Structure 1
Amino acid sequence: MTASIDNRAMLGELFYKAGLINIAQLCQVLCIAHKNSLPVGRVLTMVGLTKHKTIEDALKLQNLVRQNVLAYELAIEALRQVSASRAGLAAVLQDLGWQGNVDRDEENLGSLLVEAGILTQKSIEDSLGLSRHIGLPLARVLVLQGLVTASLLGTALSAQTLIRSGRADRNQTIRALSSANSLTISTNSNCDIALINSRAPYIRLDELLLLAGLLSVSDVKKFMQLEESDCQRTLGEEIVESGMFSSSLIAAAVRLQTMMAKHQVTPDRAARALKLVFSKNISLTKALKEILRESDPYDGNITLYHLLRLSGLVTAYDIRRLGHLPAHPEGGTGSLEERLIKTGIVNRSALDAAKRCLLLTQEGFLTAEQAMIVLHHWSWSGEGLTRVLEKLQWAGGNRLLTLKAQAFVG
């Protein structure tokens, strides 16, 4: 038996289907998340599309769906209602007729890793504390701290899926997990845990067609009903097999998906190019040439403001106290920095540390997630940023400091 990681009730999809964001916002968030290796929930709050509490409620709903105790459609309705009211998630679910514990978290990742003898309870508790503080999932924190490898994490998540779905014996799966030392662990026909390291595009075919205006929401719902009645086909396959679009347009869409995954084009430009292919009956190459003449509303890169928000150096409360701060402060960075320092929200050393971390992410030495943890360690340790980076053993050791980054040594 082979198991993949449970991808039901993806956070961005939950927010979109609950009507909390539109398709353009979803694709922008997915682009930023994919390009910077950030959790979708963090990006949603970073760009100001939702509140932290709504993310917490959505994550609880996602967890309940993946434990097979809450229907997906009910989770969507619950998220829609809880985001618009002051009532708690438990009360909203009760009003919808669901009886259960909203904090239920059976067979969670931490307990599986402890039971398999891979990590201690203390290391899990410490990682959970860091996870809550910086807003990254436990799984990502464990990898970033070097407590588990990415391959072992994938194996553990696959094991979790097997156990929660009841497709494998629990004890046997735990034993397989404890002996995991590669991407794929095989014991016998009853328990084959495989990590599938998917390089699939982050924008689905239906999402791209929706963004391009070539599919309506009602069209997607019809295709979803067909998908549910025919378990052998995915939603994308239903769209392709329907004959609604020509083979050349589908081929263009698939190529654009690959280009987006490689960050050669943003979702906005991909959608505009696909619309030109459809409306003018031209090749994708010609459509892309036309699109490149136009400006792009976003490129998926994070700014200094974004990093300050991600790291918690600037909070939602700070923004309310200060007033509106631009999400894209191009041309006004100096003004932004001055306002932050003048109001005492951040001091000069914190701003310099954030600027240096941003440079390191832009030059490929750190990921955005690593920059968040670096700034977290720096803020409470009282040590210089160089020392923190050395302790965490990130950014390539001696080749850490480029000429630009050295300007912010502290």
Structure 2
Amino acid sequence: MLRIQKPMSDGLRLGELLIGAGILTRDAVEAALTLAFASRLPLGRVLVSTGQLQDQQVDRYVAVQRRARSGGLGVLDARRVIQEMTWGAEHNEVGQPEKQPEGPASLLIDLLGQAGVLTKNEIPYVMRSSIEADITCGRLLLLRRRISPAFHRYCIELLVQYREGKLSFAKAADECRRLYQGGAYVDQQEHCGANESARKLGQLMVRAGFINETELFDALEVSLSLNRKLGEVLVDAGIVVQEVVDLCVQMLKRILSGEVRTAEAAVYLKSRYVISQRQGHFAS
């Protein structure tokens, strides 16, 4: 499960979201921030203790703020989701018809929507539910058995090809639709570009024991949606440290060049991990 570590500026960011969504006034937020800094308590706890918000509200707002902080949700969409949580989907800050959440977090959902796997009514619900649960949309659909693990992985492979420019989004959606309707799987791994290398990097990290397959596919979903490196996503999520990523990248280059075999590389990486556990840091 991808979770982003909390920086000290979180209170300020949460406060700005609540102000922008019209939940609290700026004066109320600034007063609460003063108390939060003085008491060294999170802003949300202060808002609950002063009776301005309820515990459940704070938990949901913080979940939205985490997604916005990780880049998985735009600020405007984060405000809109907060408004929907508070007043319902009919409320909109500019008085216009409610708009589906947009931005990088919806890439997989866009694919499933265009392929007809998800209906227009399901999409906003899935987006909001994933934010509240603090998990990726793909993971939510898997947990609810809305899609199968094999289908989810195939969709990720399609998005890899799309990000590489080897497959149009429309073609990816057509292939997704064909498979969902009972078609056979087709190998989408003909090329090895940057995103394909990312998948290979992730598989190496799984074999070495740094991450599990659930974390790999969650991270791939996020990295493809945000168009960021897989290693960056894993580090930002607090799953691995940068030294692990750097060493795995070095080993992957040696594998691709034919210098070492994948099994040998995995054994070496595992040995480095054991040493790091004993020394309290990752050994290079």
Which band: TM-score by shorter chain?
Answer: 0.3 to 0.5
Would you tell me which structure has more helix in proportion to its own residues?
A: 2
TM-score, length of structure 2 as denominator length: 0.39
When Rg is computed on C-alpha atoms for both structures, the one with the higher figure is 1
